[in-house]
């Protein structure tokens, strides 16, 4: 069957690898021509296999080094999935896959999977010569027509795919239209197709949709349909993101860039400033507050904070939650926690802000925090709004406020805007992948820490009075910064981490490592990226950033920024890592349920 390949088609490498995976698992499938709308790959499978889609794609991603970013069941017998390859630098590469059994829409089954797969054939993929099973041209025509008609939208890509499938097998396409349409609408559609004009086809789509619905019996929603609707309401597919940082760090530019290009998992992007503005919607804070204005009195502070809390609580359910249920990305420019960092901006008394902290549990929390970090000297060159000492204080305070948040990501805002946006998108994709793995119980990255490291990490995270201090003394370790769940400490002795240090995901830290400050008065500490290995006795000091995938050699001293993927030996000596050489310590992290390499 694979020998009689018809014309060649092109598929993205990830899509082709997925087809090979389905062949290996002996799952019957058919690829709809890449001209189909809404995804990079459209797959038709037997309905009996649809229940195993999340686990199968999780296994595929684990084997291919990919991340399953989204896996949602939008309607009966239809999954919309997004796979991603996230590099250490640059933009994440996303591939949207739509997997269908029978074609359901509006409570009606418009086409059966057995019918769409009836004449599938083997097709060679581009110049690679590798083959995959493709849906026959006539059935491709039917699928694209049903999808465009039911969504009442036909763009140029879908129109060209529709016309190409019609020309490839006009007789078969006419036969499939058969009794699906009223004779009048069938004739109008055929005339539009014969004119070879997808714009003419778009004009008759509303009538085609109504005719399709008239010829298919409506089936009332069953328990499964109601369960999916309830699950979408309880577990929204959207994400609430809060962007924090001092004035001049580039929050507004970042949010505008995120709004211009929505990632495939999201249906759109909604931006808000500081609060939802359900309470006092017309009250707009001045863009440049006068810090010389006197602070509010006691009743004024109480009224201001209570207004904030009520606005966030009501606004979440009235404005934010509906967008999240529809699968949108909601991005805030500042959030309630900004009051704790910069109370003078809101004419509140500076200090410990006990009242603001007491009200914090009543404020809905974002799913992801993006903190834009800029050194004071760079911030001074961008804006004169903040004195150097105040910008340095805010920088340290942002890290302290979010120290216990595992969903906080510190972005290097010194970089050009394009790179900062790429950092933000990588953080959003990683958050979505982690959430998807948790929801479906998929294999995730775990760490084989010894019992001694688990004991130390437990007391460092929970800060039990007296007992935590005793454990630190026993291990000769001082760790006060936020620790991700997948940090690897093979030998947890003599490790010192500054309270302002930021540790990324899947970081390996050997014994006698110090992550600390260089200047006692500055209080700045290193920011460690993802997948970093820090060798025994290494010293990383001061306001430095270690890029993703970097290797810090044993006894190395680092006081400067290290680009992603580089290796450091000695005193700030950067060498390039050889290709094909695995990262030291990489065996500490593995996929749960997967054999060791």
For residues 20 and 131, what is the distance between their CA atoms, to the nearest angstrom?
A: 8
Structure tokens at 117: 């797969």
> What secondary structure does DSSP assign to 497-508, as a single string?
E-TT-EE-TT-E
- In the chain, CATH 3.30.460 covers 13-214
Q: What's the pLDDT score for residue 139?
A: 93
Chain centre to alpha carbon of residue 231 = 20
- In the chain, CATH 2.160.10.10 covers 445-591
Q: What's the pLDDT score for residue 282?
A: 62
**CB contact at 8 A, 39 and 98:** yes
79-89 burial code (b ≥16 CB/10 A, e <16): bbbbbbbbebe
200-231 burial code (b ≥16 CB/10 A, e <16): bbbebbebbbebbbeebeeeeeeeeeeebeee
Query: 10 Å Cβ neighbour count for 325?
Result: 15
Q: What's the pLDDT score for residue 369?
A: 93
**CA geometry: angle 294, 296, 298, nearest 5 deg:** 140
Q: What is the largest CA-CA distance in the chain?
A: 85
**CB contact at 8 A, 370 and 538:** no
**CA geometry: angle 7, 12, 18, nearest 5 deg:** 95
DSSP 8-class letter at 318:
I
Phi-psi region of 306 (alpha: psi -120 to 50; beta: other; left: phi over 0): alpha
For residues 554 and 384, what is the distance between their CA atoms, to the nearest angstrom?
A: 42
**CB contact at 8 A, 4 and 121:** yes
Pick the CATH number of 445-591 from 1.20.120.1200, 2.160.10.10, 3.30.450.20, 2.10.109.10: 2.160.10.10
**CATH class, 13-214 region:** alpha beta
Query: 10 Å Cβ neighbour count for 486?
Result: 17
3-class DSSP assignment, residue 99: strand
For residues 512 and 496, what is the distance between their CA atoms, to the nearest angstrom?
A: 8
Q: What's the pLDDT score for residue 521?
A: 60
Q: What's the pLDDT score for residue 395?
A: 82
For residues 538 and 155, what is the distance between their CA atoms, to the nearest angstrom?
A: 57
Reference 566, options 554, 553, 580, 557; nearest CA is: 553
Four-residue CA torsion sign, 419, 421, 427, 429 = negative
- Mean pLDDT by runs of 10 across the 597 residues of the chain is 47 87 92 70 91 91 91 87 89 91 90 91 73 90 91 84 90 89 90 88 90 88 82 90 89 92 88 89 55 75 91 95 94 92 81 82 93 84 74 81 79 90 94 92 77 91 86 90 88 91 91 87 81 94 90 93 90 70 43 35
pTM here is: 0.88
Q: What's the pLDDT score for residue 253?
A: 92
- In the chain, CATH 3.40.50.300 covers 235-440
For residues 477 and 469, what is the distance between their CA atoms, to the nearest angstrom?
A: 10
Q: What's the pLDDT score for residue 2?
A: 35
Q: What is the CATH number of domain 235-440?
A: 3.40.50.300
């Amino acid at each position: 069957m694979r020998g009689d390949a018809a014309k060649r088609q092109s598929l993205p490498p990830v899509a082709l690898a997925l087809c090979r995976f389905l062949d290996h698992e002996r799952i019957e499938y058919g690829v709809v021509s890449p001209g189909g709308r809404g995804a990079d790959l459209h797959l038709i499978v037997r309905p009996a296999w649809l229940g195993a889609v999340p686990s199968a794609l999780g296994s595929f991603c684990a084997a291919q080094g990919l991340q399953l970013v989204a896996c949602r069941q939008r309607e009966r017998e239809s999954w919309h999935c997004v796979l991603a390859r996230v590099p250490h630098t640059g933009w994440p590469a996303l591939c949207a896959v739509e997997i269908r059994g029978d074609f359901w829409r509006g409570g009606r089954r418009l086409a059966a999977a057995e019918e769409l797969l009836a004449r599938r054939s083997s097709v060679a993929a581009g110049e690679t010569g590798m083959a995959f099973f493709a849906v026959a041209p006539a059935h491709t025509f039917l699928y694209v027509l049903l999808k465009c008609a039911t969504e009442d939208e036909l763009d140029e890509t879908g129109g060209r795919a529709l016309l190409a499938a019609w020309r490839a097998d006009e007789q078969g396409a006419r036969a499939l239209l058969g009794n699906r349409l009223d004779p009048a609408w069938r004739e109008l559609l055929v005339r539009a197709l014969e004119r070879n004009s997808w714009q003419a086809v778009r004009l008759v789509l509303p009538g085609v949709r109504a005719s399709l619905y008239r010829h298919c019996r409506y089936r009332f929603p069953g328990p499964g349909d109601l369960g999916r609707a309830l699950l979408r309401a309880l577990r929204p597919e959207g994400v609430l993101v809060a962007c924090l940082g001092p004035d001049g760090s580039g929050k507004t530019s970042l949010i505008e860039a995120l709004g211009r290009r929505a990632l495939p998992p999201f249906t759109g992007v909604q931006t808000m400033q500081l609060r939802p503005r359900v309470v006092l919607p017309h009250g707009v804070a001045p863009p440049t507050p006068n810090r010389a204005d006197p602070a509010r009195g006691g009743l004024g502070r109480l009224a201001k904070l209570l207004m904030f809390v009520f606005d966030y609580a009501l606004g979440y359910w009235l404005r934010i939650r509906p967008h999240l249920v529809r699968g949108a990305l909601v991005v805030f420019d500042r959030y309630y926690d900004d009051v704790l960092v910069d109370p003078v901006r809101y004419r509140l008394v500076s200090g410990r802000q006990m009242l603001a902290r007491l009200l914090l549990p009543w404020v809905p929390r974002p799913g992801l925090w993006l903190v834009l970090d800029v050194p004071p000297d760079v911030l001074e060159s961008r804006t004169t709004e903040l004195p150097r000492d105040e910008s340095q204080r805010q920088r340290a305070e942002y890290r302290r406020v979010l120290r216990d948040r595992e969903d906080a990501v510190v972005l290097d805002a010194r970089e050009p805007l394009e790179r900062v946006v790429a950092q933000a998108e990588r953080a959003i994709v990683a958050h979505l992948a982690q959430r998807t793995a948790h929801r479906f119980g998929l294999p995730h990255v775990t760490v084989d820490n010894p019992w001694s490291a688990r004991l130390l990490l437990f007391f460092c995270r929970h800060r039990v009075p007296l007992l935590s201090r005793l454990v630190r003394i026993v291990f000769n370790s001082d760790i006060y910064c936020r620790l991700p769940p997948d940090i690897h400490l093979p030998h947890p002795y003599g490790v010192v981490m500054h309270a302002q240090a930021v540790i990324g995901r899947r970081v390996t830290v050997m014994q006698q490592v110090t992550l600390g400050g260089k200047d006692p008065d500055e209080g700045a500490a290193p920011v460690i990226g993802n997948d970093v290995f820090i060798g025994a006795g290494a010293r990383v000091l001061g306001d430095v950033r270690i890029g993703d995938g970097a290797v810090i050699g044993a006894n190395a001293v680092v006081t400067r920024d290290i680009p992603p993927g580089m290796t450091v030996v000695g005193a700030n000596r950067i060498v390039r890592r050889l290709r094909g050489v695995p990262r030291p310590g990489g065996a500490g992290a593995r996929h749960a349920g997967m054999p060791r390499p």
